[in-house]
Chains A and B, each alone.
Chain A
Amino acid sequence: MELTSLELDMLAGKHGEGVALAMKVQVGTGKAFYAKRMVPITRTHVAASAQEGDLYFVTKLLDLGARCVVSPTTNPSMDTGYVEEHLGPLTDEGRDRVQASNDAYRRIGATLTLSCTPELEKNVPAFGEVVAFSESSATPYVNSVLGARSNRESSISALCAAVTGRVPEYGLLLDENRKGEVLVEVEAKIEDDFDWSLLGYAYPQKYKGAEVPVFTGIEKRATPEGFVQFGAELATSGAVAMYHIAGITPEAPTVEAAFGGNAVKHRVTITDADLDRVREQFSGESGPIEYAMLGCPHLTIRQVGEVAALVDGKQLAVDTWILVSSLTLELAERMGFLGVIQRAGGHVVADTCMDIPGCWDAYYGRPGVTESQKCAFYCQVYGQRYAVRPLAQAVQAALAGEVVK
């Protein structure tokens, strides 16, 4: 890997030990992928997720004197004040970790947006822009839907990029690696947002390779929410950071253009049965539930409006948490959705993620409902038993206090 004299100085510690550590991670990663050089970035998105490993690394960088030169937006952590008021006291450990994480990211120079959908608001890259986005649901969106260029960054590598202002040039930053190699013939009917999340989870189950897939047979463009959920599940079930949808996404006006001269290395067919298998895998047990956790990734104002329409004038039977960005919360208030949902007994809360250890312990080991396979998958480690349903059905379950098959 050829580094400029500035980059060599950064690696050698002449710009501080924090910068040197960030460069060490990036150069090591670059070498693993045979990157030839580093290139500047103009946007980053990082974690700030108040998870232990993440806090460890940002604190280490800070203690070594690192500061961001490209201020990143951040993933959610938790509105501890709201959750403590409405759910009960958090563990000291959980509350302290959220505080420490927010403080650390503020000090290192991040912009505390605390939302996992930066690609929809506050940090939207342009076509061709080179960026470093962690948050595995955002990365496929910026590459595939927007045509910007980001590798699948970890919370760690994206923070390193924010500190150094550059990334190693490999993978999806290069034209040749953005072309399709896998032809995915979608025979299943893809009609609503939930179908997109099922498709996103199903594809990596049928093909585990990291090559860029080209989805064909889809006529109707996904909604922004559908694309967000599709990417979230592709990255949960597998490690897909870029896809094409022929005739829909910007680098795939045709199947031929999406492949860019590449041979079809592998063919995958996705049928209704494949989607049903995912639906069944995440259907959970029917019966009583104790909570509903919606918004992984964060729900948009359109989805909050749908929830409000469903609960208007009714009472939710279980704790219902609707996780959103601070902008969506503000809009929900302006639009009157917040009042409707609160009168039904539900909570719309900003800045918050369902996967913050030590903060949702009340629900550990308990049955609940969610609209997100990603949520159900990662919360397994806490013994949370989720039934996954399309958003409207999940809200119905929260009203009824039980899930039905």
Chain B
Amino acid sequence: MSEHEYACRPISEGIGEGEALLSTDALCFALCEPDTGCVIESGHCLDGRSVAGKVLVMPTGKGSSVVQADGLYRLIMKKTAPAAVVIQTPEPVLVSTIIAMEVPLVDEVDPAFYDDIEDGDRIAVDAVAGKIVVHRRNGPGEREAR
């Protein structure tokens, strides 16, 4: 187990911890099935994977002005929302929705984070102090052997 810390900017304050779920596509929470948190958007790189309890790492948000909030709310009610969200570029609908729904959100993460992070790493997002701690289950050597 190794531990790495990266600086980031808090947007929506709070603390969240979970497995990293890496997305190269923007996500709309309305296209997640509320009972499971599974993404149901065909063609999305996370199609079929669940955001529940994960730290969702994605470029930005997308989707219409109402459904983003409604989608996230449904996930929160079913306890299938992400534990925290890490984005590269803020998007107004996503940002205001996440602040209002009180999910931790950060951006402007140390670029090294994106070089180092792998899907499934355990991450703690501290959107108060402005830091992300990544716990690696495997060292780099074991990782390659995996």
The CA of A53 and the CA of B81, in the complex, are separated in Å by 13
- In the complex, the answer to whether B93 meets A378 with C-beta atoms within 8 Å is no
- In the complex, the answer to whether A235 meets B64 with C-beta atoms within 8 Å is yes
The stretch of A9-17, A29-37, A104-112 that contacts the partner chain:
A29-37
The CA of A164 and the CA of B77, in the complex, are separated in Å by 28
Interface residues in B25-74 by Cβ distance below 8 A to A read 25-26, 30-31, 33, 40-41, 59-74
The CA of A134 and the CA of B65, in the complex, are separated in Å by 6
Chain B nearest CB from A79 CB (Å) reads 18
B-chain residues with CB within 8 Å of residue A171 when the two chains form the complex:
92
Tell me what chain A mostly uses at the interface: helix, strand, loop, or mixed: helix
Interface residues in A361-380 by Cβ distance below 8 A to B read 374, 378, 380
B-chain residues with CB within 8 Å of residue A137 when the two chains form the complex:
64
Per-position contact with B for A184-217: 1 when CB-CB < 8 Å, else 0? 0000000000000000000000001010000000
The CA of A134 and the CA of B67, in the complex, are separated in Å by 11
- In the complex, the answer to whether A56 meets B66 with C-beta atoms within 8 Å is no
Identify which of A32, A134, A152, A381 contacts B66 (C-beta below 8 A).
A134
The CA of A208 and the CA of B61, in the complex, are separated in Å by 11
Identify which of B67, B96, B107 contacts A153 (C-beta below 8 A).
B96
A-chain residues with CB within 8 Å of residue B129 when the two chains form the complex:
none
Q: Does B97 contact A (CB under 8 A)?
A: yes
- In the complex, the answer to whether B96 meets A33 with C-beta atoms within 8 Å is no
Interface centre among A31, A33, A135, A156 (most CB of B within 10 A): A156
- The A-B contact count (CB < 8 A) is 121
- In the complex, the answer to whether A56 meets B73 with C-beta atoms within 8 Å is yes
Q: Does A226 contact B (CB under 8 A)?
A: no
Interface footprint category on B: 35 or more
- In the complex, the answer to whether A49 meets B66 with C-beta atoms within 8 Å is yes
The CA of A24 and the CA of B12, in the complex, are separated in Å by 10
The CA of A329 and the CA of B117, in the complex, are separated in Å by 55
- In the complex, the answer to whether B67 meets A29 with C-beta atoms within 8 Å is no
Interface residues in B85-122 by Cβ distance below 8 A to A read 89-97, 99-101, 107
- Given the contacts A33-B90, A151-B92, A154-B92, A28 and B99 also touching, CB distance less than 8 Å: yes
Chain B nearest CB from A30 CB (Å) reads 10
Q: Does A384 contact B (CB under 8 A)?
A: no
Could you show 13 A-B contacts with beta carbons less than 8 Å apart? Answer: A28-B95, A28-B96, A51-B70, A53-B71, A53-B74, A134-B66, A154-B66, A154-B96, A156-B96, A156-B97, A160-B96, A239-B60, A381-B30
Interface residues of chain A, those whose CB is within 8 Å of chain B, are 24-26, 28-29, 31-33, 47, 49, 51-54, 56-57, 75, 134-137, 139, 151-158, 160, 171, 208, 210, 235-236, 238-239, 355, 374, 378, 380-381
Interface residues of chain B, those whose CB is within 8 Å of chain A, are 11-12, 25-26, 30-31, 33, 40-41, 59-74, 77, 89-97, 99-101, 107
Of all A-B residue pairs in the complex, the 7 with the closest CB atoms, nearest first, are A53-B73, A157-B96, A53-B70, A134-B65, A51-B70, A136-B64, A154-B93
Name 9 extra pairs, CB < 8 A, besides A49-B66, A53-B71: A51-B70, A52-B73, A135-B65, A152-B93, A153-B93, A156-B69, A157-B93, A380-B31, A380-B40
